[in-house]
Amino acid sequence: MIERNSGLANLTAGYLFPEIARRRREYAASHPDAKIISLGIGNTTEPLSEHIAKAMADYAMGLATKEGYSGYGDEQGMTALREKIASVFYKNMADASEVFISDGAKCDIARIQTLFGAKTKIAVQDPAYPVYVDGSVVTGAAGAGKKDGSGYEGVTYLPCTPENHFFPDLSKIQPNTLIYFCSPNNPTGASATKEELTRLVDFANKNGCIIIYDAAYFAFIRDPALPKTIYEIPGARTCAIEVNSFSKPAGFTGVRLGWSIVPNDLKFADGTPVNKDWNRIMTTLFNGASNVAQAGGLAALDEKGLADMKASVDYYLENGRLIKETLEGENFKKNGVEVYFTGNGPYVWTKFPGKKSWDVFDTILDKCHVVTTPGSGFGPAGESFIRFSSFGHRADIEEACRRLAKLEL
């Protein structure tokens, strides 16, 4: 018999979201009248922009004609889309040849793990989006789980808490480490400042580290002083890959379209450009993003598309403000609840001092019929926190807020 991939065997806990779904299902089965509202999963809820949807529909109809049909495209993506992303989002901080179109940021993160191989040390923010660590465990890069259940041996966990403004102590990172960094952050909602990112980039360049910068929420940044891409920081081109996505700004979570920037200046220890190997990975393991989705991406980047994306993000940010105001109510304040919402990300990260995340999750599900995400599912430093997501229809958000306002903890 074939041996099981030991990386998969090493994965400790189950994936967070299936466990949330299981508890929700069980609760719904025993409480059939409960009208459950989810402020849990970070999934978009609002319809696509008509302008963007029409571009995809037109492209799809074109495929049914002799003139409009095309089969496989370039694995790196349509030239027009690569150029548009470089000029609109990166304003000449990245060249079109450094933009690789993909089926999404999560998928790119998984492929990046094959780019670096099993011996690479990794560091992650704690709490963090699960794929950075779990994906590394699958490829073997994170080693086996620790016996005390406190994480994986090849992983340096970097606590990000209110005490350090959700920016980690970089001195814990060893030289030649792959650093996953997400800003605006999922789950904390925190956005790193220019000064913080400068420290991160300087540290990486000095210590031979490479940063995998997950900017999936860049479109939520409203404070003009906050960097929207790592390449706003001098020196980032020699130490950082940026992964990004249309999922959150354009509601493309189901359509599937993302991109990664791999600068020509980024090199491995032996001098090989990372860009060269990434090109090899994309041509070997990937066969190009859907051409229909790419037509939608192009439409998202014209004037109307950009305005529609901004309106969609504004809608979610307003939801976030409503949730924040509710959680700042007297019934929470008297229990010492701390609310972190920056207005530059979709998540309201909330601390319930002295309580376990899963207990608070169960209380809110039971008393308010609202599904949230327990912070501990994102890493040990997330214990006692709950992540409230602002993705939802306004009416549902308002109803969830009315119920939360009456919650007695």
Ligand X SMILES: *Cc1c(COP(=O)(O)O)cnc(C)c1O
Conformation bin of residue 49: beta by default, left when phi > 0, alpha when psi is -120 to 50: beta
Residue 359 near residue 289 (C-beta atoms within 8 A): no
Distances (CA, A) of 353 to 20, 187, 220: 22, 18, 28
Using the rule CB under 6 A, which residue among 99, 216, 274, 301 binds ligand X? 216
Residue 374 near residue 380 (C-beta atoms within 8 A): no
Nearest distance from C-beta of residue 80 to ligand X, angstroms? 20
Using the rule CB under 6 A, which residue among 81, 99, 101, 107 binds ligand X? 107
Among candidate residues 407, 114, 81, the one with its CA nearest the CA of residue 252: 81
DSSP tally for the chain: helices H, then strands E: 14, 13
Nearest distance from C-beta of residue 18 to ligand X, angstroms? 16
Buried b (16+ CB within 10 A) or exposed e, 126-157: bbbbbbbbbbbbbbbbbbebeeeeebbebbbb
- Judged by CB under 6 A, the number of residues near ligand X is 15
CA distance 198 to 230: 9
Nearest distance from C-beta of residue 252 to ligand X, angstroms? 7
Nearest distance from C-beta of residue 206 to ligand X, angstroms? 26
Contacts with ligand X, 36-75, as mask; x by CB under 6 A: ------x---------------------------------
Among candidate residues 337, 381, 329, 384, the one with its CA nearest the CA of residue 358: 384
Nearest distance from C-beta of residue 22 to ligand X, angstroms? 21
Using the rule CB under 6 A, which residue among 143, 251, 258, 374 binds ligand X? 258
With a CB cutoff of 8 Å and minimum separation 6, the contacts of 301 are 81, 84, 85, 88
Q: Which stretch binds ligand X (CB under 6 A): 138-146, 164-172, 246-254, 264-272?
A: 246-254
Q: Which stretch binds ligand X (CB under 6 A): 100-108, 149-157, 280-288, 307-315?
A: 100-108
When asked if residue 186 is in the footprint of ligand X (CB under 6 A), the reply is yes
Give the nearer residue to ligand X in terms of CB position, either 143 or 379: 379
When asked if residue 129 is in the footprint of ligand X (CB under 6 A), the reply is yes
Contacts with ligand X, 148-177, as mask; x by CB under 6 A: ------------------------------
Could you tell me whether strands 177-182 and 155-159 are parallel, antiparallel, or unpaired per DSSP bridges? unpaired
Local structure of residue 401 (DSSP, 8 states): H
Task: Tell me the two tokens of residue 261.
Answer: 């920037």
Give the nearer residue to ligand X in terms of CB position, either 37 or 105: 105
Using the rule CB under 6 A, which residue among 136, 177, 188, 247 binds ligand X? 247
Can you list the pairs that 394-403 forms with residues at least 24 positions away whose Cβ atoms lie under 8 Å? 394/315, 394/318, 394/319, 396/37, 397/39, 397/319, 397/322, 397/323, 398/322, 399/37, 400/37, 400/39, 400/323, 400/368, 400/370, 401/322, 401/323, 401/325, 401/326, 403/37, 403/367, 403/368, 403/369, 403/370
Using the rule CB under 6 A, which residue among 48, 56, 105, 178 binds ligand X? 105
Give the nearer residue to ligand X in terms of CB position, either 239 or 289: 289
Conformation bin of residue 104: beta by default, left when phi > 0, alpha when psi is -120 to 50: left
Using the rule CB under 6 A, which residue among 101, 182, 236, 400 binds ligand X? 182
Q: Which stretch binds ligand X (CB under 6 A): 104-112, 226-234, 263-271, 337-345?
A: 104-112
Nearest distance from C-beta of residue 286 to ligand X, angstroms? 13
When asked if residue 89 is in the footprint of ligand X (CB under 6 A), the reply is no
Nearest distance from C-beta of residue 391 to ligand X, angstroms? 10
Using the rule CB under 6 A, which residue among 106, 111, 369, 387 binds ligand X? 106
Nearest distance from C-beta of residue 131 to ligand X, angstroms? 8
Among candidate residues 62, 168, 188, the one with its CA nearest the CA of residue 123: 168
Quickly count: other Cβ atoms within 10 Å of residue 221's Cβ: 21
Give the nearer residue to ligand X in terms of CB position, either 245 or 326: 245
Local structure of residue 145 (DSSP, 8 states): B
Q: Which stretch binds ligand X (CB under 6 A): 149-157, 247-255, 331-339, 359-367?
A: 247-255
Using the rule CB under 6 A, which residue among 139, 188, 245, 312 binds ligand X? 245
Quickly count: other Cβ atoms within 10 Å of residue 174's Cβ: 11
- Residue 267's DSSP bridge partners are 273
Nearest distance from C-beta of residue 77 to ligand X, angstroms? 14
**Which residues contribute to the site for ligand X (CB under 6 A)?**
42, 104-107, 129, 182, 186, 214, 216, 245, 247-248, 253, 258
